[in-house]
Amino acid sequence: MSAEILKTIQENLMKGKANDVKALCEEAVKQNIPVEQILNEGLIAGMAVIGEKFKNNQVYVPEVLIAARAMNSGMTILKPLLASANVKARGRIVIGTVKGDLHDIGKNLVKMMLEGAGFEIIDLGVNVDAEKFVATAREKNPDIIAMSALLTTTMGAMKQTIDAIKSAGLTVKTIVGGAPLTQSFANEINADGYAPDAASAVDVANRIMAAA
Ligand code: B1M
């Protein structure tokens, strides 16, 4: 019975049916299915399928956005219950588009995928300078700082941020991504991870958390 409703949540999330996902989450709570199970085997499982399909070009940005909206709709039911059940996020990630760069569509997709995978996200928005990343890392103690850049001219701000993090003596891990980046650039600037797309960012974040 519980497996059936969780599968229906997944299917409706993948179709982007926000109202149905919300109602199904309410129903699952009424059926006394543990809230963590609804999150993991319903919402997160559905987003994971969307992420894989996105990676393989089987779905595109609009499908991801409507699935993420459905996920958020289900989360309005689960979030308060998760807080009271003291369920921990998979990890805390500070995300932002680096200084000088105003592109945020890709960054927002990465954020949604990470949220969909159960991470707590602190989104600093766009045009975020190294000082802001460092100050937020000090204040919020995240596991990972995730940076996006879409301009060749702003990729350098990633290096400045990683250098500033190291100079500040912080041990927080870093993930970088964005259309002009490559793995070799990420290696060059000593980033802990590079992801070419939003779904891969989840894989990289999971790998970093597992190694911690
Ligand atoms: Co801009 N722009 N833009 N732009 N813009 C590009 C990026 C460009 C390639 C267009 C072109 O010339 N062909 C070019 C960059 C050239 C370069 O440096 N290589 C460019 C330029 C030059 C500029 C301006 C300088 C133009 C000008 O004013 N003369 C200017 C710069 C403003 C600034 O940032 N300071 C500018 C402005 C803008 C708009 C404001 C108009 C708008 C942004 C709106 C917004 O984001 N809110 C815009 C847009 C929309 C684009 C294009 C058309 C689309 C970008 C996008 O959203 N793609 C883009 C051309 C193109 O890509 N076709 C272009 C969809 C998005 C889902 O993909 O962001 O790549 P993307 O994210 C992917 C991956 O890269 C990855 O995952 C995402 C999903 O899979 N990813 C990560 C991204 N971040 C990640 C982080 C990770 C991991 C993966 O870990 C942390």
Is a pLDDT exceeding 90 seen at residue 148?
yes
DSSP 3-state assignment of 57? coil
Q: Which of 108, 145, 150, 197 to mutate to test the pocket of ligand 1 (most atoms within 8 A of CB)?
A: 150
Q: Whose CA is nearest to atom 77 of ligand 1?
A: 197
Q: Whose CA is nearest to atom 64 of ligand 1?
A: 150
Query: In the predicted model, what is the mean pLDDT of the chain?
Result: 94
Residue at token pair 């909206």: 69
Architecture of the domain whose range is 92-211: 3-Layer(aba) Sandwich (3.40)
Q: Whose CA is nearest to atom 50 of ligand 1?
A: 103
Architecture of the domain whose range is 2-84: Orthogonal Bundle (1.10)
- Cα of 91 to ligand 1 centre, how many Å? 27
The predicted-structure confidence for 156-212, as pLDDT tens digits, reads as follows 999 999 999 999 999 999 999 999 999 999 999 999 999 999 989 999 999 999 998
| Predicted model pTM | 0.89
* pLDDT the model gives residue 80: 86
Instruction: Provide the residue ranges of all domains of the chain, joining segments of one domain with +.
Output: 2-84, 92-211
- Cα of 151 to ligand 1 centre, how many Å? 7
Helix axes 45-55, 2-14, angle to 10 degrees: 40
Residue 196 buriedness (CB in 10 A; 0-12 / 13-18 / 19+): middle
Task: Please give all residues whose beta carbon lies within 6 A of any atom in ligand 1, as ranges.
Answer: 61, 100-107, 109-110, 146-148, 150-153, 175-180, 195, 197-198, 201
Q: What percent of the chain has pLDDT over 90?
A: 83
- Cα of 125 to ligand 1 centre, how many Å? 14
104 CA closest ligand 1 atom index: 46
Q: Whose CA is nearest to atom 87 of ligand 1?
A: 177
Question: What long-range pairs does 29-34 form, CB within 8 A, spacing at least 24?
Answer: 29/77, 29/78, 29/81, 31/1, 31/2, 31/5, 33/2, 33/5, 33/6, 34/85
* pLDDT the model gives residue 167: 98
130: its two tokens: 């190294």
* pLDDT the model gives residue 1: 61
Question: Distance between CA 163 and CA 3 in Å, rounded?
Answer: 47
Q: Which of 97, 98, 103, 182 to mutate to test the pocket of ligand 1 (most atoms within 8 A of CB)?
A: 103
